[in-house]
Amino acid sequence: MQINVAQLLRASIGSVRDYEIKQVIEITGDGVNSMVEGSVRLLRTNRSILVKGALGTGVELTCSRCLGPFECPLKVNLEEEYYPTADVDTGVAIPVPDEPGSFTIDENHILDLTEAVRQYALLAVPMKPLCKEDCAGLCPFCGHNLNTGPCGCSSRRTGPRWVELSKLKKEKGK
């Protein structure tokens, strides 16, 4: 996800460039690739290039209720400043701000979005992911995934009791 920003670094402050992104990166670090798609806007500021992006991607997660794997869509709203490390005309090194985790543009004026997108995507991963909002979960008795239909426990364990209750009610009513 690399963008050559040499031209933009030479442009006047306030200049913008828009880019469409469609690229596969590794987000969770387990060898699984995710497609990242969306648009980014690069703005030349007096000291940096400000990147704003609205991107979408997805990661494979395990549902916290039914323990099934599912593809979780993620929205990535990126906003980061990238600091140049070399003067675009002279090549002279530019000291970068002493802020931990700040992103830089390399000496060849390549701005690489990959790491920022990866970090933002990880932050967007839900703490208790659900494969769907109304995931039925697992049967507490037999462990059957109730999203795929009833397991039979419901009729064995709760069904008969209800039948007896309704019988009792009927008898009382006599």
Binding site for Zn ion (CB under 5 A): 63, 65-66, 131, 135, 139, 141-142, 144, 151, 153
Give me the least distance between CB of 125 and Zn ion, in Å please. 16
Spatial distance between the Cα atoms of 8 and 158, rounded to a whole number of angstroms: 69
Number of H helices and number of E strands within the chain?
4, 7
Q: How far is the CB of 53 from Zn ion (least distance, A)?
A: 30
In the bound state with Zn ion, the residue whose beta carbon lies nearer, of 97 and 140, is 140
- Min dist. Cβ of residue 73 to Zn ion (A): 15
* SS3 at position 115: helix
Question: In this complex, which beta carbon is closest to Zn ion, that of residue 64 or of residue 119?
Answer: 64
Which CB, 67 or 110, lies closer to Zn ion? 67
**Residue 64 exposure: Cα atoms within 13 Å on the Cβ side:** 7
For β-strands 69-84 and 103-105, DSSP reports them as parallel
CB of 158 to Zn ion, least distance (A): 11
Amino acid letter, 149: G
